[in-house]
Amino acid sequence: MSTIRVAVLMGGTSSEREVSLKSGRNVVAALAGGRFTVIPLDFTGDLAPILALKGHADVVFPALHGPGGEDGRIQSVLDLLGIPYVGSGPLSSAMAMHKGVTKILYREAGIPTPAGVTLSRRDGAPDWLETNVDDLLKTIGVPCVVKPANEGSSYGVSIVKTAEELAAALARAATLDRDIIIEQFISGVEISVPVLGDAAPLPAVEIIPKSGTYDYASKYTPGATEEICPARISPAAAAAAAAYAARAHAVLGCRDVSRTDMIVSGDAVTVLETNTLPGMTDTSLLPLSARAAGLSFAALVETLVRAALARATAAPGA
């Protein structure tokens, strides 16, 4: 009996390339052992190797993060090729990737999210950032959070504590994206809640960065952050967080897996953003939450692969 051929896409061309390579290598290792034929593929922007997968891969596991891998573009190519893949489709991926669009959908679905605005280079003159500083200080105020709309892993994120810091934070984000999110800073316990399958929330992970900020280095430097699962929050907050994660997964149209980041203050939960291809590195939150739910890393990966295969054999549009 032939084994299932799984192509694992990793690397990519975004700022999260190195993280993606770590995720991909872990997925490859988890699939090894005879049940699957694994095809590791370091994606460098050339579509030819992906096009060549047609007829040679039964399913693709995109272990890609950031623009070009998590925003629907690769998913569109795989759809055109007719190759099943793990994770959300093109539209869901694109909506979740753009944090401004995500916030609009959250609000329409009754999901609490920080007050914020989106600035776009499309809307302004060459001095589009400078002309908005005063208005932002009036409408959002400080402290606030400034981040590129389409980056992940906290790349380019600034926590602005004083009015004098705002212009520099905007300029930094503008080097990475033409759309910038500026939102109210919410103080509290940072947690993340994965959802597996259609809408099954896994245990919340509490995030405690030793630096005080859960930035890129804190996420991917071993020992830089303490993660506790289940999170030490009240039963009411845990229930609300699980419900909001499931609702975010549904309103964005996510498939197979997502991970939604939140801030908890007492029993109040505020939702920040949703990730459609959560990290699979040694320090990533999804594998930790899955283990707390009794699911090993290998079982998690296999569950995702088999979900993609099952969807491919279901009715059209499933």
Catalytic residue list: 16, 153, 220, 259, 261, 273, 275, 279
* Residue 41: its H or E element: strand 36-43
**Could you give the CA distance from residue 310 to residue 312 in angstroms, rounded to a whole number?**
5
Rounded alpha-carbon distances, angstroms, from residue 143 to 139, 161, 226, 277? 12, 4, 24, 29
Secondary structure of 195-261 as H, E, C letters: EECCCEECCCEEEEECCCCCCHHHHHCCCCEEEECCCCCCHHHHHHHHHHHHHHHHHCCCCCEEEEE
Strand ranges inside 131-204, DSSP E: 144-148, 158-160, 179-184, 189-196, 200-201
Residue 57's identity, in one-letter code, is A
**For the chain, first and last CA: distance in Å?**
27
DSSP letter for 296, please. -
* Block residue for tokens 């930094």: 172
**Could you give the CA distance from residue 31 to residue 34 in angstroms, rounded to a whole number?**
8
